[in-house]
Amino acid sequence: MKNISILASGNGTNAENIIRYFSNEKKAKVTLVLSNKPQAKVLERAATLGIDAFFFDRSQFYDTGEVLMILRRRETDLVVLAGFLWLVPEDVLEAFRGRIVNIHPALLPRFGGKGMYGDRVHRAVLEAGCKESGITIHYVNEKYDSGDIIFQARCPVLPDDDVNTLAERVHALEYKHYPEVISRLLDNPE
């Protein structure tokens, strides 16, 4: 059985969806959820579902190697970012080369980069007058939103959309595709 560890900073609806998907799978389980925000709802969601969930601070991620240590100790096969807002440090990237993935709520390479997350992305898409948006699942590297793209799915942007209606449509795509793409990656690692 393979082990998935999730890093998340916020609400955690994707994390919860992935946990639930793999709770019915034999080949892999989410065994760890880590968050850089002590009050993040994702920690509560994971704990409620019986998954070990911990907070870590900047120094445990970037200086002391403690986050890397726990990922290793848990025999993590795949690190999944789900609404995680910090850059991943070099030692973690190296230890999990080709085994760290992220989801972005737009069609990269547009609308990515530092500061582009969540509703800010949807607002930018609406302000640019795009006729479509979507999701991008990609490998994680040392820069924001610029690793090799694994998968994209599209949805329309409707004339009367606001940030909330667009976010809802994009979230639905995330819930449908992220667990399936993760599952395929576990079958065929890079």
Which one of the listed residues 104, 122, 171, 177 is annotated catalytic? Answer: 104
Q: Is 141 exposed, middle or buried (0-12, 13-18, 19+ CB in 10 A)?
A: middle
134 binds ligand GAR (CB under 6 A): no
Asked if 30 is part of the footprint of ligand GAR (rule: CB under 6 A), the reply reads: no
Pick the stretch among 3-11, 54-62, 89-97, 151-159 that binds ligand GAR (CB under 6 A).
Answer: 3-11
Task: Identify which range of 57-65, 72-80, 100-108, 152-160 contacts ligand GAR by CB under 6 A.
Answer: 100-108
Size of site (CB under 6 A) for ligand GAR: 17
Q: CA dihedral defined by 107, 109, 113, 115, rounded to 10 degrees?
A: -30
Applying CB under 6 A, which of residues 100, 103, 140, 166 lies at the interface with ligand GAR? 103
Q: Is 104 a catalytic residue?
A: yes
Query: Closest residue to ligand GAR, Cβ-based?
Result: 83
State the binding string over 32-61 for ligand GAR (x if CB under 6 A, else -). ------------------------------
Is the CB of 99 or the CB of 122 nearer to ligand GAR? Answer: 122
Q: Is 11 in the site for ligand GAR (CB under 6 A)?
A: yes
Nearer to ligand GAR, 53 or 174 (CB): 174
Q: What are the residue numbers of the active site?
A: 104
